[in-house]
Structure 1
Amino acid sequence: MLLNIFFPNKNERIQFVYKHFQIDDMPIEKNTVISSDIIGVKSIKLRSRYRNIPGFWLEIHFNKDVKGKKLYSELMATVDLKQINSHVFYPKENLPLKEMETKWLNKYNLLGKESDDEAWKLFFQEIKSHMRYDRIDIAYKGLILFLKYNPFFLKKYKRYYILEELAYLYENVGNVGKAIKTLKIQATLQPNSIEPYLNMSSFYIINNMEEEAFHICKEALKKSPENQYLISNMVISLINIGSYEYAIDFLRKVLDRHPNNPYFWKLMGDIFYEIENNKSAIDCYQRALKIGKTPTIDDFKLDIHTGIGDCYYEEENYKEAIHYYRKALTYNPKDAYLLLSIGQIYFFKLKDMKLAFKYTKLLVDSMPENGYGQYQLGLIYSKTDHIEKATWHLYKARSIMPYYKPIHDAIKMLKKSNKKSQAY
């Protein structure tokens, strides 16, 4: 017979063991209290969890004889049922906040005079366990109680970062509203920090809520006007809502203060590219490269070389476009966008089937599930009269992208040309 009893702190567990078993200084050997002198008991163990429920648990293993059964019955009569086994409150289904609040307060005695930091730490462990098992609404309501009764606990040791983690969990399930609400709670606990605002603006941008992102960035920039990431999110939000003049004016003022920041020049290049001022965009990108000659991260260089290549493509200077796309490839040789773009230029613009095949094949070999790559390879094979291979790749492309009309048109054209060739 087993009995698992929950306690919200160590002291209550110690007192219980002393009261019922007269063990004062509990000798522990591999987490087992030596209990050979206790009649009716095989062992007493100290546990930190019972069926994933965190707590200061006491596991009592009774003998199956008369004395063991008697002792088991006596303890069951003295211990509150809410402290025993699965009767301990540990919600797996979402309940109304008021109901959970009452049960959590009682479980941990959070408002009692005897309440200590141990109980709050244990409650915090429970919240983290709910997050691990994707019970995020339950975790959210638990954190609301911390905010209500003990916000200083979350501030200590920067425990408030759990709110950021919870926000990302909400984003993963598509609940952006709750994610933002969670970050706003974090902001109240970090009144002088711009991190929650930065996270909120990023959430808004990712979820096509650029106007909200703009207002959050504007508010946060009052606190930290030189923060590069906030400035970036501000510019991105302005680009996405089409406020190009505002974005250019804003960024020019930033560049007046930071003329040697390559990242801001890159952002200005992005804006000029969006408004089809490709020459100005190239100038900004080149300036970013010149300033950033000292080691910078590869992703930054990849983006700039790709941006310059895009500008030259729009200007129909295809050789220069390929030149910069190839430079970008040195930072990521398997970049799907670059391989596809180079293959398209060689195939459609420069009519070089050999090089078009080379770069498209590199794409398909590294990413066989890329439908555009399969489609383009099918076109190349069709153009070079490799009908069977063309058919295979076009059908593969259709299975990946069944609603992309050009694939269906290419298959029809291939069938027609094949019938004509067979007729002869």
Structure 2
Amino acid sequence: MKQVLILFCFCISLSTMAQQQAGPIREAMANYDYETALGLISKETPTPQLTFQKAQALRGLNRYREALEAFREVVAGEPENLRAIIEMAECCKLSGRFTEGLKSYEQALALTPENKYLQLQRISLLCIMEQYAQARRFCHEVMANDSSTAVMRLMAQAQEGLMRPDSALYYYKTIVEKEPHDYLSVAKLANLHINTNAPQEAITVTEKYREKDSTNIYVNRQNAQAYCLTKDYRKAIDRYEYLVNQGDSTRMTSYYLGMSYYAIEDYYGAHDFLRIAYKYDPKNINVLYYLGRACAKTSWKKEGVAMLNEAINLAIPSDSIMINLYNGLADCCYYASMYKEQVEAYKEIYKYNPRKKIMLYTIGAAYQDYLKDNKNAEKYLELFLKTKPKGEGEDPKMEKGTLVLGEMTHYTVAERRLNTIRKEQFFKEGQKE
């Protein structure tokens, strides 16, 4: 009896100590003091509960890789621990491990198929992964029993991703009708109107929202852009200046504000904001063009010249790029048996590089072999032969087991081709007589 009593007291002592030690950990976790929590946990004998808390603390400190390892450890030992699986999925999502995160959500849904939170998180992740068709399918399944705006918002996102703007517009409009204070849906709806060339509709939607809240940065951005696109530049400037005063110096805000100033011939204002847009996107031809024009009409005239020259250089591809493109086009035309188009591509190559005389031979041979057009074949082969330099010919070479014809050898072959064409022409003319 005495031994039992001693054992009982010992167990109570251990339990009390564990509770005393767990208390500070819980308190640190509750106060988001994750560094302290991790320090306390490291001093304890590992248990599934402590490993779970460790993973939470690591996630709270954005140490996702370590957090994920800890969550995996918990789930490996307790494969039906729903909370640990969900936390693991969330951690995967935050760390960019989307495929693993999706598998974790599927694992959690296998344990609780009707869990609405998990259903929405799965759809949200599918949208992030741009798997819009699958996201739409799951949205339809959820919407059979749920018509909440949360589901409709995901459906609208999926429809937008599938390039179905009409369907996306329908869902965003429905959301805004149900929840007129949903600023993200208002901004999305306005952006869709802008993208479908209906800026006046965007103005209507955003102005209605601004009657309730004129400060929202996302709605004001769409509102300002819509005014700019309808050429109401002074109204656009008013909206964009408000955004700038609120600390918005993003590329799009700077670009459209600069363009609005340019449109009303306030070139100094245009210069200031297009200069900011240029820092974000120095290779944007539109920015370079309008910034250069604004520079020319203000105090930065030489800089304006440099900007326009840069825009021209970007707008006109280099000769080497064009030659590569037309070479590729010629190959594609050959394999598609589009020989006329192939010859036209060869002509473009020669136009960009007239020093490459061999192209005249290539064009002539193509006319002769593929198009059976001896008249044009003769024309280009004669042009090629006129470029023949004085001197002796050269013998064909072997490179890696392949016969390689030098330019001088091509002149010999061109002469043979011309002789063949002229013989055929002679016999044809003789038969006519």
Question: TM-score category by the smaller chain?
Answer: 0.5 to 0.7
Counterpart for residue 159 of structure 2: 272
- 2:20 aligned residue (100, 121, 127): 121
Aligned pair in 2 of structure 1 residues 199, 122: CA closer, same or farther (>3 Å)?
closer
Higher helix share: 2
- 1:305 aligned residue (172, 186, 191): 186
TM-score (norm: length of structure 2) = 0.55
Partners of 1:238 and 1:383 in 2: CA distance: 42
CA contact 1:302–1:332 (8 Å) conserved in 2:
no
* Cα RMSD, aligned residues only: 3.9
Counterpart for residue 323 of structure 1: 204
CA contact 2:234–2:260 (8 Å) conserved in 1:
no
Partners of 2:120 and 2:34 in 1: CA distance: 35
Q: Which range moved further: 235-244 or 217-226?
A: 235-244
Q: How does 1:12-411 map to 2 (within 5 A)?
A: 115=14, 117-118=16-17, 121-122=20-21, 125=24, 132=33, 134=35, 138=39, 141-142=42-43, 145-147=45-47, 151=49, 163-169=55-61, 171=62, 175-184=63-72, 194-258=82-146, 260-289=147-176, 293=178, 298=181, 301-329=182-210, 333-347=214-228, 349-396=229-276, 401=280, 405=284, 407=287, 409-411=289-291
TM-score (norm: length of structure 1) = 0.56
CA contact 1:378–1:394 (8 Å) conserved in 2:
yes
Q: Which amino acid aligns with 2:216?
A: D
Partners of 2:36 and 2:283 in 1: CA distance: 39
- Specify every segment of 5 or more residues in structure 1 that has no aligned partner in the other structure, as ranges: 1-110
Aligned residue for 1:316, secondary structure, equals coil
1:203-247 residue CA offsets vs partner (Å, 9 max, x unmatched)? 333433221221111111122323333222211222233333222
Tell me the CA shift for residue 333 of structure 1: 3.3
- The structure whose Rg is larger is 2
Partners of 1:316 and 1:350 in 2: CA distance: 10
Partners of 1:116 and 1:283 in 2: CA distance: 60
- Specify every segment of 5 or more residues in structure 2 that has no aligned partner in the other structure, as ranges: 1-9, 303-433
1:120-152 residue CA offsets vs partner (Å, 9 max, x unmatched)? 634763797798484787566446x3317xx4x
Tell me the CA shift for residue 420 of structure 1: 11
Partners of 1:323 and 1:229 in 2: CA distance: 34
Aligned residue for 1:418, secondary structure, equals coil
Q: Which range moved further: 220-229 or 328-337?
A: 328-337
Q: Which amino acid aligns with 2:24?
A: Q
Partners of 1:330 and 1:164 in 2: CA distance: 42
Partners of 1:297 and 1:163 in 2: CA distance: 39
Q: Which amino acid aligns with 2:60?
A: Y
Paired residues, number: 290
CA contact 2:85–2:104 (8 Å) conserved in 1:
yes
Aligned pair in 2 of structure 1 residues 250, 389: CA closer, same or farther (>3 Å)?
closer
Aligned pair in 2 of structure 1 residues 196, 403: CA closer, same or farther (>3 Å)?
farther
Larger relative CO (CA 8 A, sep 6+): 1 or 2? 1
Counterpart for residue 35 of structure 1: none
Tell me the CA shift for residue 371 of structure 1: 4.4
Q: Percent identity?
A: 16
Tell me the CA shift for residue 394 of structure 1: 3.7
CA contact 2:34–2:60 (8 Å) conserved in 1:
no
